[in-house]
Structure 1
């Protein structure tokens, strides 16, 4: 058993957290309804993480957050830390295109194999893919060597589920257990006696694979 220490989102993000429905925690940041016209999004639509509109909304939120965090210092570079190449990599590429920012994404997970890193292309965006979360230190050095220093003119987006919380390959099972329990209760209440927990778990495990 390994212990990786304890922390909290507040320790390094403060209230600059945006929920899956693109609602910001910090009340100073605009709501999705206010950003939708600027992002070319129809009213009452919440874009998925893989859609270009998601990137447009996130780029606007990052600009608003930067104006609060570092007034007079516009974003020049974008960095993204996540755990899935397809979903997080696509979101990173979309945000970068929307904001017009160069940058680098980190996709990590702890895997039972010798440490390895590689640079891959995801829709025109560069991803630093690693099978150790400790490779984040190498990511920082690699970014600087590419002329992409992580500084006050940088925006850093950190995925929450299975990255900041329940890091993939370390303790991501806690995220799975919470999700399964929530869905189990919902499905069980809908199906009643016809609910089969074993078939449900089998279907969930088959679908719950990293992209």
Structure 2
């Protein structure tokens, strides 16, 4: 039998989502703190201002001297680690983990690049030997998606499937039946790092584009050629060239995204994010405990035991554990959906046993 728990056992509402509004009511909302920090935009992880927001919140919580950051991407999480370090307000160390075939721990400045989740507890011992102790002066920051749940390189496909479940559900509603292979091809062509300069690594944009190309409102091959020729720089410019009959359901979906982009809403495609919320819940603790391990890892979103254990150890030693999610609140919190459970309160299996 697998043990089960929810995220909040570790985080105790010390969580922020994409909008940077802490769940803890005593902490300032982003609309409050952006005035004090003189920000005129919502920063993402790659932005130096994101680290400034985190530091501002950390100071509101307590008097911390050290930050230990656990994430899964060198680009995004690594940027937060670098930017927190450059603030010169804390002693900072980061651990970036992606499960791979090779087993190694590589130091890169004040970061460790790690290829096995099982190495996390030995890494804590390494940090202690380097005088990076877990105590009440330490804040442990843990990325949620593909670190605390859906461990990258091991269980991340389940998180990806919740996302594509949501998109295919919208396609079925708007366009009828779906050819899975054709959709998978379109989505895989769009969900690539080479297109991040256009999509902003934003699944709202990837989702609506998948729908547009699947519905043949624009040819995928043509867009790819035009993008690499430098024709398209940002989504709204591209979306404004697409004509959809007003009676088509896809028309309302595209207009929804265009309107939110114009308003600079951080969640451009709320319809997609609400579907993603439901699809994520459905992929948590739904398979029998006797399921084949490969099926479990590919289909069900699991709590990463090694990260969970880091959180428990940190809390037991007096450190505060703080969770970050790139997902918007609509994908994580049941606003106006009283019968649903927030993602961070949903029971999930802890893997491995």
Which structure 1 segments of 5+ residues have no match? Answer: 67-73
Summarize the alignment of residues 75-154 of structure 1 with structure 2, pairs less than 5 Å apart: 75-98=64-87, 100-113=89-102, 115-121=103-109, 126-154=110-138
Alignment check: 8 A CA contact 2:68 2:138 kept: yes
Distance 2:119 2:189 in 1: 29
Identify the match of residue 54 of structure 2 among 55, 58, 61.
58
Query: CA-atom RMSD, angstroms?
Result: 2.6
- The secondary structure found in structure 2 opposite 1:205 is helix
- The secondary structure found in structure 2 opposite 1:94 is helix
- TM-score relative to the length of structure 1: 0.80
Query: How many residues of Structure 1 are paired with residues of Structure 2 in the alignment?
Result: 194
- 2:184 corresponds to: 201
Alignment check: 8 A CA contact 1:15 1:25 kept: yes
Distance 2:45 2:55 in 1: 13
- 2:17 corresponds to: 19
Which structure 2 segments of 5+ residues have no match? Answer: 195-353
Q: Which has the higher contact order (CA 8 A, sep 6+)?
A: 2
Per-residue deviation, 1:90: 0.4
Distance 2:190 2:49 in 1: 25
- The secondary structure found in structure 2 opposite 1:176 is helix
Per-residue deviation, 1:91: 1.3
- The secondary structure found in structure 2 opposite 1:29 is coil
Q: Which has the higher helix share?
A: 2
Alignment check: 8 A CA contact 1:40 1:53 kept: no
Distance 2:3 2:105 in 1: 24
The reply on whether 1:165 has 2:149 as its aligned counterpart is yes
Distance 2:113 2:15 in 1: 24
- 1:71 corresponds to: none
Alignment check: 8 A CA contact 2:150 2:158 kept: yes
The reply on whether 1:6 has 2:4 as its aligned counterpart is yes
Q: Measured at CA, do residues 141 and 30 of structure 1 come closer, stay the same or move farther in structure 2, by a change above 3 Å?
A: same
Q: Which has the larger radius of gyration?
A: 2
Per-residue deviation, 1:186: 4.6
